[in-house]
Amino acid sequence: MKPMLAQSFGPICEGISTGYTGSVGEAADIFYPEVIFVQQGNKVWFAMGEQSLTESVSEPCEIVESFDQLDLEERVVNGNPVKYVKDGRWVVEGPFQRSGVKNKNGRTYSRKIWERIIADPKSATMEDLRQGGMLGHLEHPADGRMDGNKGAIVTRKLELKKDGVVWGVAELLDTPEGLRLQEYTRKKVRWGVSSRGNGSVGTDGTVNEDDFQLVTFDAVMKPSTPGAYPQLVKWGAQGATKRESEDPKPSGLSEDARERIAQIDEVRSVDVSTLGESEQHRFAAQLLGHLSAVGSLAGSQSLSPDKAAELQDWLTKKLKEVHESLADGASLTIDRVLETLADGDVDESEASVVIRTLQQQVTERAEEAEALRREVEEMQQEVEAARGRVEALRTEIAGLESERDQARAETEDVQLELSRVREQLEIAQETIGELTASEVADDRQEAVEEVIRTNPALEPHRERLTAASDGDGVMELAEVILAEVGSPPPSASVQRNGLPSRGMVVESESRAGSSRPATVTSPGARMAGKALTKMHAPKP
């Protein structure tokens, strides 16, 4: 099942452009540089931030106090004279994007997106950076397309930090648009960086991890959060003397803590009384989110206990204010109805409007309560059904366990029987193996003597009989020879290819006329009998 999309594959520009018609919200998501400086030879002038915030300043260098201490030239841009640094290099550093934080456009970029785009050295974005950088505009283009005539900024480096921040390094060009940015920076006009790309967005605002493609980062003017805020520093003969910033960055704070403080500062000026009921509910949810985040930051020691207590105190008071405002709204409605009904000289139309309003509110609350009751009942039914499924599974598992135990017992019996058979075979093989070559020869010689004694006519054929392989072979050969010379066969019958049959009588001179079966004295028969006796002997 495919996920529901709020936006199919198309342009995604976070910062607002006045002419852009793509899928963006009413507020921008812009990240502000932490440091901007211009370097001319060994002279460096910081327009924003300070040297400790960047690793891009080459050493050795001289920090100059003002822009005018650099070698400047003048250029006319759109009919206006603009000063620029001759052979100077403007560098911008700071957060360009952030992972896992919903921006004001309602979109969230997962860390996996930036791992695929930035952490993979073979990605198209990293190849663009190796080839010279990613050209960006001043404001997002209206059609989302790149225009080489409107370049203002070039992204040279991107790095994914451990906290999910996409840290970027860019340069301002000496193009008309780039010179505007240089002039804005010199005059302390605030501007930021915003991503431009293509992709699809889920209904929950999550940007698709698989199809998002980063195009570039543009410079934009619309202020927004979350982001890092600039620190303007005045430089004098003794170095940095004073911080100037609308949103000062408290020292010793993590990036998340500074961002959270900035977000809370933005809502301090919100007047709850000017918000509608639905807006007040959303505002309360926002405050609760801030309150939870402050607690987490305090627990991880990203915020000092005093600062965390200050923020929690304000957020709690603001939540109380929202609650009281919602309660007052309901009370005012009821009071108005009572006053209207108590007044004898009342405007019927006004009274009916108030009553209908109250009835509508009561109906809505009743519907909400009924919906909640049905939801609870459905959940209870699901729980009961789940319990039934669990019980059925338990019964099935018990049956399977019983079958498993029975099969295991049968397997053990079979294994025991196989073990007994294997032992008998080993005994038979061991006993039969005791029949050596000399015993076979003795058996053959004894058979030769026996058949010649029984049939003297075979005496001339002794050598031929001795050539037989064993005693049985001698008996068989004797029959053949006697048939050839026309003599009767031996008086003892021979069972070929096996042991003598039970009760077979072998006549001999010593036992002639005896009624008892003669004992078979063949070594092969003796060995076979010994093997059978050993196999059937009771185990010790």
**Tens of pLDDT, residues 472-482:** 888 888 888 88
Same domain, yes or no: 286 and 317:
yes
Q: Are 473 and 444 in contact (CB under 8 A)?
A: yes
What's the pLDDT at 125? Answer: 93
Residue with tokens 């006004």: 350
- Residue 258, both tokens: 């500074």
Picking from 11, 3, 298, the residue whose alpha carbon sits closest to that of residue 144 is 11
Give pLDDT, residue 504.
36
Same domain, residue pair 272 and 314: yes
Longest dimension (CA), the chain: 159
pLDDT of res. 289:
81
Please tell me the predicted confidence (pLDDT) of residue 362.
67
Last residue of some domain: 299, 319, 346?
Answer: 346
- Looking at 346, 363, 382, the residue that finishes a domain is 346
In a domain, 407, yes or no: no
Residues 236 and 271 in one domain: no
Let me know if residue 420 belongs to a domain. no
Is residue 360, in this structure, part of any structural domain at all? no
Please count the other Cβ atoms lying within 10 Å of the Cβ belonging to residue 500: 20
Whether 332 and 239 share a structural domain:
no
Please list, residue by residue across 158-182, b when 16 or more beta carbons sit within 10 angstroms of its beta carbon and e when fewer do. Answer: bebeeebbbbbbbbbbbbbbbbbbb
Give me the pLDDT at residue 282, please: 81
What confidence score (pLDDT) does residue 349 get? 52
Rounded CA separation 41/57 (Å) = 11
Which residue do the tokens 């408290």 mark? Answer: 250
User: CA 102 to CA 305: how far, in whole Å?
Assistant: 27
C-beta neighbour count of 504 within 10 angstroms? 15
In a domain, 495, yes or no: yes
What is the CA angle 434-437-439, rounded to 5? 70
Do 226 and 269 belong to one domain?
Answer: no
Residue 521 C-beta-side C-alpha neighbours within 13 Å: 12
Instruction: Spell out the alpha helix ranges (H) of 433-470.
Output: 437-454, 462-466
Q: How many domains are contained in the chain?
A: 3
Torsion over CA: 203, 208, 212, 216 (sign): positive
Predicted pLDDT of residue 324? 78
> Would you give the end-to-end CA distance of the chain in angstroms?
71
Instruction: Work out the percent of the chain whose per-residue pLDDT is above 70.
Output: 71
Instruction: Determine the pLDDT at residue 152.
Output: 94
Residues in the chain with pLDDT values less than 50: 1, 17-28, 223-251, 345-346, 492-520
Range of the domain at 133: 5-32+89-243
Predicted local distance difference test score (pLDDT) of residue 522: 54
138 DSSP 8-state letter: B
Task: Supply the pLDDT for residue 173.
Answer: 93
pTM of the predicted protein model? 0.43
- Burial category of 294 from C-beta neighbours within 10 Å (exposed 0-12, middle 13-18, buried 19 and up): buried
